[in-house]
Amino acid sequence: MYLECHNLNFTYPGNTTAVINNLSFSMKDPGFNALFGPSGVGKTSLAKMIANAKFRSDGDITTGNIDTILYSYNLERLPGWSSTGNHLDKVTAPEKQSLKEQLTGIFELNDVLGSRFSQLSMGQQNRINLIRYLLQEFDLLIMDESLANVDEKLRETIILAIKEVFSDKMFLYISHNLLEVSKFCSQILVFRKSSENKNSFVIEGQDCKKGYSLDKKQLDATMLEIMNAF
């Protein structure tokens, strides 16, 4: 399983400055990877290009053993005409019912399945949205700030559970949380502003898994490396 980008460029229509300029990187094997960088450097644009074939040119993004790519983001909503539990049921295949129950337990959402989406807090809304993506068939799931507004402790629980339950899938996690990305991600693509004309590159993260013991020195080194990459 791999994802490779070769000399990728992207400019918004009507704009002269490229958001993504000559970007090349590769990520291999299943795991929890990240796109990291300041706002406006092109993380979401890259994610949309990866997820949507119509934004790509021939050969600039290649994948191996990745057939289905899904892109989820934190402002998504569920329709308001019935409860979130009903919506989850409708988009869950019968063979994934037990996985749904497992995930709603881990994501601490069992108490709100009878409520409408608009009645949930923002963190609950993001969690319910992420669950419905995890219940679909996919090889690569892009999570664009999908855990925004979720408290730190629960976010850690969720990330560790995703890494354990979906160990054969690839994830691209977009987040602005340096500590979280350094701690849990395997490969981190650090973006630089295209105006600075420096290449973006991939840094190895700590890739902590369930029951991990953290090497703080290593973590500090990763965080420093990411910060110096800006």
Partner 1 sequence: MLFRRIYQFLIVYSVAIAFLWMIKMGLSLSDYVIPGFSLVVETAGQVFKEYFFDVINTLSVAVLGQALSIVLAFTVGISGRKSSWIGSFIKVTAYNIQAYPIVALAPIIFILLGDGFIPRLMIASMICYFPLLLSVLGIMATPVENIEHFYIVTGRMRWQLEVKIRAFENLSKLTTVISGSATLAMAGTIVGEFIAANAGIGYSIRIALYQSDLAKILVALFMIGIIISIYQGILETLGEQMKSKWSISNGGEVL
What region, left, alpha or beta, does residue 16 occupy, with left being phi > 0 and alpha being psi -120 to 50 degrees?
alpha
With CB under 8 A as the contact rule, which of the stretches 9-17, 78-86, 157-165, 200-208 interacts with partner 1?
A: 78-86
What are phi and psi for residue 113, nearest 5 degrees?
A: -65, -20
Q: Is 83 in the site for partner 1 (CB under 8 A)?
A: yes
What contacts 24+ positions apart, CB below 8 Å, involve 183-187?
A: 183/208, 183/214, 183/219, 184/32, 184/156, 184/159, 184/160, 184/208, 185/32, 185/33, 185/34, 186/29, 186/31, 186/32, 186/33, 187/27, 187/28, 187/31, 187/33, 187/34
CB of 90 to partner 1, least distance (A): 9
Residues 101-120 that bind partner 1 (CB under 8 A): 112, 114-116, 118-120
Q: Is 70 in the site for partner 1 (CB under 8 A)?
A: yes
d(CA 204, CA 214): 15
Residues 7-66 that bind partner 1 (CB under 8 A): 51
Q: Is 174 in the site for partner 1 (CB under 8 A)?
A: no
Cβ proximity of 137 and 68 under 8 Å: yes
Q: Is 89 in the site for partner 1 (CB under 8 A)?
A: no
What are phi and psi for residue 129, nearest 5 degrees?
A: -65, -45
CB of 74 to partner 1, least distance (A): 10
Q: Is 166 in the site for partner 1 (CB under 8 A)?
A: no
d(CA 134, CA 32): 14
With CB under 8 A as the contact rule, which of the stretches 10-18, 29-37, 68-76, 177-185 interacts with partner 1?
A: 68-76
- Taking CB under 8 A as the rule, which mask of x and - marks residues 127-156 in contact with partner 1? --x--xx--x--------------------
With CB under 8 A as the contact rule, which of the stretches 29-37, 77-85, 157-165, 197-205 interacts with partner 1?
A: 77-85
Binding partner 1 (rule: CB under 8 A), the pick from 29, 75, 176, 221 is 75
Which residues, other chains included, contact 152 with Cβ-Cβ below 8 Å and sequence gap of 6+? 180
CB of 131 to partner 1, least distance (A): 11
Instruction: Name the residues that contact partner 1, by CB under 8 A.
Output: 51, 70-73, 75-81, 83, 91, 112, 114-116, 118-121, 124, 129, 132-133, 136
